[in-house]
Amino acid sequence: MIGGVSIVLALLTQVMLVNRVPLPAGGAPDLVLLAVVGAALAKGPAAGAVLGFFAGLLVDVMPPTAHLAGQYAFVLALVGYVAGRGAGGPVTTVVLCVLMAPLLAAAVGGLISDPRVSMSTLTEQVPVSVVYTLLVSPIVIWLTTRGRHARFPT
């Protein structure tokens, strides 16, 4: 429940606020991805995949949208599963997911021959957004690990 609400809030913040601020180098952090990763880290692989799928569908229908529906449902379902399974500690998991998501999205876009995905997307746009997302990711890591520490001693 908290995961779902935080994903909707992250998406609204993303399109209403974050994307509209012209940051240096012209990218923006992907808050939705981080919300999915955070929720999946707490919930496990199955719940993470389901959460990711519905978050992706939301990304696909939330206006303004100009891409095909299903693209982000695919990407975020896979990301949610990977984040839920975990790869090493939470830090490596988050970094892996942040790197994986834009590349996957570009790959799916390439499969359906989306004109927006080209070599310059991969070399210019993706690295900037990855760096911004990684800069914000410590908040997610802190939130998930803090919950875990609190759970074990009590």
Tally of CB atoms within 10 A around 9: 13
CB 93 within 8 A of CB 38: no
Site for another protein in 131-150 (CB under 8 A): none
Nearer to another protein by Cβ, of 5 and 146: the residue is 5
Q: How far apart are CA 42 and CA 86, in angstroms?
A: 10
Nearer to another protein by Cβ, of 21 and 150: the residue is 21
Q: How far apart are CA 140 and CA 7, in angstroms?
A: 12
| Member of 73, 83, 94, 104 binding another protein (CB under 8 A) | 73
Nearest-approach distance from CB 153 to another protein, in angstroms: 26
Site for another protein in 81-100 (CB under 8 A): 81, 84-85
Write down how long the chain is. 154
**DSSP secondary structure code for residue 123 in this structure:** I
User: Residue 37 is inside which H or E element, if any?
Assistant: helix 31-43
Spatial neighbors of 78 by CB under 8 A, at least 6 apart, are 49, 52, 100, 104
Query: Mask of contacts with another protein, 7-46, x by CB under 8 A?
Result: -----x-xxxxxxxxxxx-xxxxx-xx----------xxx
Part of the chain binding another protein (CB under 8 A), chosen from 49-57, 91-99, 134-142, 143-151? 49-57
Positions that interact with another protein (CB under 8 A):
12, 14-24, 26-30, 32-33, 44-46, 49-50, 52-53, 56-59, 61-74, 77-78, 81, 84-85, 101, 105-106, 108-109, 112, 114-118, 120-121, 124-125, 129
